[in-house]
Amino acid sequence: MAKLDILIAPDRRLRTRCAPVGKVDDAARRLLDDMLETMYDAPGIGLAAPQVGVLKRLVVIDCARDEEEPAPLKLVDPEVVWRSEELVTGNEGCLSLPEVYVDVERPEAVRVAYLDENGEPQELEAEGLRARCLQHEIDHLNGVLHVDYLSAIKRGVILRRLDKSKRRKKD
């Protein structure tokens, strides 16, 4: 396994609609393992392939609490096939926007169809933090970030600040 570099916004690759994987091969499986290692190291509860510069529809999550057994989940070509009418607001962080926390209103529960690491079609239903995390990761696959739920003014302030701090680090 290998730890990968996580892209920081603003970056074009975080704004791209990612391509379906379709066939789950060894390269896809290796990438999912590397993404899990990168996510645990960060640490985070989810990671999408575009965050490591790969513009494909691959996601890993583990929303187990610290005192619980690890519960890694690998999803290829995930798709929300049902969302609850009930919406809830929760505070979200993102590894690609360090120290930026945004309240986002989302369906409280979702059903997600996906391919597992063997290419088998699966479905899962999630609620609470797990549902929020899945929706956040699927947003990444469509080039959507949590700051997109803010006003354009607030989003602009945050992205310009991140851009400045990135450019400061380069030289």
- Residues with a catalytic annotation lie at 137
- Residue 145 corresponds to which tokens in the numbers above? 């970030």
How many whole angstroms separate alpha carbon 82 and alpha carbon 125?
9
Residue 60 sits at φ, ψ, to 5 deg, of -125, 145
Tell me if 94 contacts ligand GNR by CB under 6 A.
yes
Q: Please, are residues 131 and 106 in contact by the beta-carbon 8 Å criterion?
A: yes
Candidates 58, 94, 115, 147; binder of Ni ion (CB under 5 A) is 94
The stretches of 8-66 forming alpha helices (DSSP H) are 26-41
Q: Among the candidate windows 29-37, 74-82, 112-120, 136-144, which touches ligand GNR by CB under 6 A?
A: 136-144
Candidates 18, 35, 46, 141; binder of ligand GNR (CB under 6 A) is 46
User: How near is the Cβ of 61 to ligand GNR at its closest, in Å?
Assistant: 8
Tell me if 137 contacts ligand GNR by CB under 6 A.
yes
How many whole angstroms separate alpha carbon 76 and alpha carbon 169?
34
The residue ranges that bind ligand GNR (CB under 6 A) are: 44-48, 51, 92-96, 132-133, 136-137, 140
